[in-house]
Structure formats: C-alpha cells, structure tokens
Structure 1
Amino acid sequence: MKIVLSGFYGLGNTGDEAILKAIVDNLRKELDNPDITVFSLSPEQTAKEYGVKSVYRGWRHGNKEKVKALRKADLLISGGGGLLQDTYPTKFLFGPLPYYLLIVFLAKLCGAKVMFFSQGIGPVTSRWGKILMKVFANMADFVTVRDQYSKDYLHSLGVKRPETVVTADIVFAFQPDEDNKAYASLGLNGDERLVAVAPRPWFDHEDEYIEKLAWVLDELIEQRGVLPVFVPMEPPYDTNVSKKVMEKMKFADKTRLLGESFTPNEFYNFIAKTDLTIALRLHALIFAALSDVPHIGLSYDRKVESFLKRSGMWDRSFPLGEFTKERLLENALYALDHKDELQEMIIPNVNVLRNEAKRNVDLLQERFLKGER
C-alpha cells in the first residue's frame, strides 16, 4: 500500500515528531511492507531518520513532487495532532488550516483516498476557516479523532459526510527504544528525585504562569530536595521560556536544562526516569503517562484537558489561567508523596488509551484494505 503522510513534520516539534514515529512504526508493524512518503519541511532529515521517502511540504517548491506522490498514493493520512485549527491567523491560502485542507483537496484530485488520522479538532473560529472546513473536510473518506470533544466539534462545523470514530492520540502507541542519551547528558549520580518541566510560550498568561511556576519549583527544591529539569519540546521557543522561569527562581542553580537536539525517543526515556512531570506540552504529559509517571498539566487548550481527564490526572491539574501557586504546590507535593497510589490509577487508564491508539491502524485496514485481503 502506498501512503502519503501530511502533518507538522520536519519543524523540530518533539510532539509532532513523536506522532510521526508512532504512525510510521505502527504502519510497518501492522501492514505488509507499506510504501510511505512524508511531506516534511526537512525532507532529507525526515527520510534519513525514519527510513521513508520525503517531499518538501511547503508551496515554495517541490509541488511537482507532491502531485507525483499523491498520484501514486492509495491513501493520504492527514495527521495526527491538532492540524485543523485557526489559532494562528488564517488567510485565503496561508496558515495551517488552509494548508492541510488544500493538501486534502489535491489528494482527491489525484485520485487518492483520504483519512484524517488521530486528530484533535479546533478551535476554528474565523468565518473563512469554517467555510474551508465545511467544503474541504467533508471530502475525507474516513476520520479518527483523539477525543469525543473533537468529534462533536467537527460535527458542529458541518463536517458530517465522513464516518468519524473516537480513538486516542497515536502517541499512546509509541514504540520506544532504550536510549539514555538525554539522561546521561546531565551527568547525574542516579539517586536524584527528578521533576520534568515542559513549558511553552502562550499568548495571554505567559508572564503570570512563569512567576507561579518558578515559585513552586523553588518550594519543591526546598521542601523535597527535587531536581527540576526543563524539557524543551519545541526549541528554541520552549528553551527561551524555560530560561525565563529560571531567571525568576531563587534556586536556579539547582535546576537543569536539557539540550535541544534530542529525539522524541530520547526525551521519552528521560521523562520515564522522573518522579513527576509538570507540563503545558501535551506530548510531555503523554510520555509521562506512558511511563506511569504522575503528571500535572497546565491546560492552555481543550486537547490537554481532554487527555488529562482520560489519564485520570485532571483533578490534580489546572486550566492555565486559573490556578494559584499554592494549589499547584499542594498537588505537586501530593504527587511526589503518593506516587504509588497515583500509578495504580494511571496504569489501567493508559492501557485503555494505548489500545484505542492502536485502533487507528486497525480501522485504517478495515476501511481501506478490505478488498486486498
């Protein structure tokens, strides 16, 4: 089967690269020798890292190659991740929403089937974005979404033609390889209590949450002797925010900042060694959950809240603009002091999510490979 993957690939975002690795690994595990082409901003790097064919994803060049790949393809997989949204400005042909939908349109013109794969939908609030969704998203042949909210939201936008099934984020089917490069880079002695911290820039609440987070980390260092380690899931943006948090701390000298060049697999293996993860980044939280690590989210988006409800940790987490430093400290101390108890709750929830994530590929086979069996 010839498959083209369209997503936010080749731009250095650890979460999206984890999505790509999970899709490629699971396609290869379940399908008979799939022929995979990835649309990427860094096609040479993507081809080398994942052992796939790769074509430049933007419109500036490589358009003949994109058309050629789609004409040969049996299926375009759009996703996973939060591709279909207009948080960033959406104009006639610019912004993520029109880009991904125009790739769908191009695929249909080239005769390929289209599957929205393990996607989180929205927000789509602009008039132009809603028109684009109603026209082009209805061209998809089949849709899986990572939570019920996304399915309901998709239907509210008038996208009802393709069948839509709720599964889970494909990163729950992530297949890690043992690799301690990120951990080893810190030169630790092995008996530290580690807290992974995965911040990100955000429009309205950045300065406020940075001050609160800095205070909480100082208190955790004083009260529990932890070593906070900042994990930049999307450099340089997350690196810059991490440094801003450290500048507000009394005990910044008792923190560490991971480098920017680690792979999703290396970040995963580092987070697996921590006692607690505090994060805005969704896939840092998912890595923690997959490793049975208690996690506290600061939710800047419905996708983070939806995940935390499914992992069982929403009661210990907060909307980004609605938490006090005292409550965050209280919940962090509880998580550190009751790790075994929280793991007993997390493990069965994650097993459900892992099985739901694997269903994305099972459903792809049922929908698009029936005639080939």
Structure 2
Amino acid sequence: MKIVISGFYGLGNTGDEAILESIIDNLREQLDEPELTVFSLSPELTASQHGVKSIYRGWRQDFKAKVRALKEADLLVSGGGGLLQDTYPTKFIFGPLPYYLLIVFLAKLCGTKVMFFSQGIGPVTSTWGKILMKIFANMADFITVRDQYSKDYLLKLGVTKPETVVTSDIVFAFKPKEDFTCIESLKLEQNDHLVAVSVRPWFDHVKQFEQIATILDALVEERQITPVFVPMEGHHDVEASNKVLSRMKHADKCHVLGKDFSPNQYLNFIGSCQLTIGMRLHALIFSTIQGVPHIGLSYDKKVESLLKRSGMWDYSAALEEIKVENLKNHALFLLDNHDEFSDVVKKNAAAMREDALRNVELLKQNFAE
C-alpha cells in the first residue's frame, strides 16, 4: 500500500515529530510493507530519520513531485495534529488551513482517497476559513479526530459528508525506546525532585511567565524541587523559558534542556520527573504516557480536552484564569501524593492508547482491506 502523509513535519516541533514517528511506526507494524512518502519542510532530514521517501511540502518547490506522489498513492493521510485551524492569519491560499485543504483537493484531483487522521479541529473563526472547511473538508473519505470537541466542531462547520470517529492523539501509541541522553546532559548530583516545565509563546500573553515563576519559586522553597524547562519547539520555547527564569528568585536552581533532542529523548526525560507544569499539548501527552502527574495551562480547547481525559483538569487552569496560590497548592498536593495520581494517569493513558491504535485499525478497515 502506498501512503502519502501530510502534516506539520520537518519544522522542528517536537509534538509534530512525535506524531509522525507514531504514524510511521504503527503503519509499519499493522500494514504489509507500506510505501510511505512524507511531505516535509526538511525532506532530507525526514527521509534519513524515518527511512521514508520525502518531498518538500511547500508549493514553490517540487510541485510535480507532489502531484506524482499523490497520483501513485492509494491514500493521503492528512494529520495528525491541529492542522485545520486559522489561529494564524489565513488569506486566500496562504496559511495552514488553506495549505492542508488544498493538499486534500489535489489528492482528490489525482484520484486518491483521503483520510483525516487523528486530527484536532479548530478554531476556525474567519468567514473564508469556514467556507474552505465546508467545501474541501467534506471531500475526505474518512475522518478520525482526537477528541469529542473536534467532532462537534466539524459538525458546526458543516463538515458532515465523511464519517467521523473520535479516537485520541496518535502519540498515545508512541513506541518509547529507553534513552537517558537528556537527563545525562544535565549532570545532576541527584534527580529525585525533578519537575518538568513546558512553556511557549502565545501571541501577546505574558502574564503567565510571572505566574509560573512565582509557582516554581514556591516549590523550590517548600519542596526543594529542581525545575527543568523542556523546549518542545526549539528557540521559541527557549525564549519563553528564559522569560520565566528572568522573573524567578531561584533561577540558579533551574535548568533548560537543549532544544535539539528527539521526541523519544524528551519523552524519557519527562518520565523521570515527579511532576510536569506545562502549556505544550505534547509535553502533557508525554507526561500522561509516562504516568507523570501534571498541571496544564490551557491556551486552547485541545489542551483542556486532553487534561479532562488524563484526569488532571481539576488541578489545571485556563491560561486567562490562573490563580497562583491555587496552582501552587495543587502542585504541592500532587507532589505529596505522587504515586496515587500516577496510577490515575497511567490508567487513563492506557485507555487513550487503545483509542490511538484505533486510528490505524480504521485506516486498515476502510482503505487496506
């Protein structure tokens, strides 16, 4: 079976690279020697990392190669991740939403079937974005989404033609490989009080940097923790981490991991922590996979949806509604009752892993059998 995979790949985002690795590993496990081609911004790197064919994803290069790959393919897998949204500016054919939908349209012109795979939908708020969704998303042959919110959102946008099934993020089917490179890079004398911290820029929101700094200072003073910042998207998250550090009294007790570790290495590091305090969705997913209690700072419905499924929403907060004293007390409570909440998270992670594997099972049922 020949499959083309389209997503936010080759741009150095740890979450999206984890999605790609999960898709590739599970397709290879479940299908008989599939031929995989990935549309990537760094095609040579993607090809070497995953042993796949890879084509430059942008319109300005290799357009004929993209058409040829789609014509030869049995299926376009669009996803996973939050591809279909217009949070970032969307113009006529520019922006993530038009790009991914036009790839779908191109596939249909080439006679290739399309599956939206483990996607998170929205927000789509612009009139043009809603028009594009209603026209082009209805061209898909089958859809799986990672939460109920996304299914409901598709219906609200008028996407009704293909069947839509709620599964979970394909990263819950990630296949971890033991690797201690991250923690070894820190050269710590002891590592039993580590707290992973994942922060990101989010438009003009900056108040959270001071709030997180206050919480971390309190945890250092009251539980002697060692905060370690995990930059899930390169220099963007390093800069955000430094904004928190600049507001801390105990910045000298903190560490920032390098920005070029693999998803598997970050996953293993988070698994060695007692707690995660994070904004990035996939830092929280990694925590769930590893059974690490976590406090999420939700800037988007996708984060809230994950926290409700992992069992940690009651200890988390929407970004605009952070109450420092409450979150500090939640963090202390989770640290003091680590094993109990680790069991809760592991149980929920097992259920989401089963749902994640359904993405591949449904692909097989609809397109390979």
TM over 0.5: yes
Counterpart of 1:29, as a letter, is E
Task: Give the conservation status (yes or no) of the 8 Å contact 2:120–2:146.
Answer: yes
Q: CA deviation digits over 1:99-153, x for unaligned, max 9?
A: 0000000001111100000000000000000000000000000000000110010
Structure 1 outlier segments of 4+, above 3 Å: none
Aligned match of 2:349: 350
How far, CA to CA, are the matches of 1:55 and 1:191 in structure 2? 42
Aligned match of 1:27: 27
Using the aligned pairs only, state the percent identity: 65
How far, CA to CA, are the matches of 1:39 and 1:188 in structure 2? 39
Counterpart of 1:118, as a letter, is S
Aligned match of 1:165: 165
TM-score using structure 2 length: 0.99
Aligned match of 1:242: 241
Structure 1 segment 212-227 matched on structure 2, within 5 A: 212-227=211-226
How far, CA to CA, are the matches of 1:114 and 1:250 in structure 2? 52
Q: CA deviation digits over 1:279-321, x for unaligned, max 9?
A: 0000000000100000110000000000000010000000001
Aligned match of 1:263: 262
How far, CA to CA, are the matches of 2:96 and 2:351 in structure 1? 31
Aligned match of 1:67: 67
How far, CA to CA, are the matches of 1:182 and 1:64 in structure 2? 41
Structure 1 segment 27-66 matched on structure 2, within 5 A: 27-66=27-66
Counterpart of 2:12, as a letter, is G
Counterpart of 2:333, as a letter, is Y
How far, CA to CA, are the matches of 1:48 and 1:211 in structure 2? 41
- Shift of residue 216, structure 1, vs aligned partner: 0.7
Q: CA deviation digits over 1:17-49, x for unaligned, max 9?
A: 000000000000100000000000000000000
Measured on the aligned residues, the alpha-carbon RMSD in Å equals: 0.7
SS in 1 for 2:320: coil
Aligned match of 1:251: 250
- Shift of residue 340, structure 1, vs aligned partner: 1.1
SS in 2 for 1:185: helix
How far, CA to CA, are the matches of 1:154 and 1:204 in structure 2? 28
**Structure 1 unaligned runs (5+)?**
none
How far, CA to CA, are the matches of 1:6 and 1:366 in structure 2? 20
Counterpart of 1:6, as a letter, is S
TM-score using structure 1 length: 0.98
Q: CA deviation digits over 1:208-245, x for unaligned, max 9?
A: 10001001101111100000000000011100010010
- Shift of residue 192, structure 1, vs aligned partner: 3.5
**How many corresponding residue pairs?**
369
How far, CA to CA, are the matches of 2:215 and 2:337 in structure 1? 18
Structure 1 segment 269-280 matched on structure 2, within 5 A: 269-280=268-279
Task: Give the conservation status (yes or no) of the 8 Å contact 2:118–2:145.
Answer: yes
How far, CA to CA, are the matches of 1:257 and 1:191 in structure 2? 15
How far, CA to CA, are the matches of 1:281 and 1:109 in structure 2? 36
Task: Give the conservation status (yes or no) of the 8 Å contact 2:197–2:230.
Answer: yes
How far, CA to CA, are the matches of 2:316 and 2:243 in structure 1? 22
Aligned match of 2:117: 117
How far, CA to CA, are the matches of 1:282 and 1:274 in structure 2? 17
1:145 to 2:145 alignment: yes
How far, CA to CA, are the matches of 1:245 and 1:303 in structure 2? 24
- Shift of residue 347, structure 1, vs aligned partner: 1.8
**Structure 2 unaligned runs (5+)?**
none
Task: Give the conservation status (yes or no) of the 8 Å contact 2:192–2:273.
Answer: no
- Shift of residue 271, structure 1, vs aligned partner: 0.3
- Shift of residue 204, structure 1, vs aligned partner: 3.9
SS in 2 for 1:165: strand
- Judged with a 3 Å threshold, the aligned counterparts in structure 2 of structure 1 residues 105 and 191 are, in CA distance, closer, same or farther, namely closer
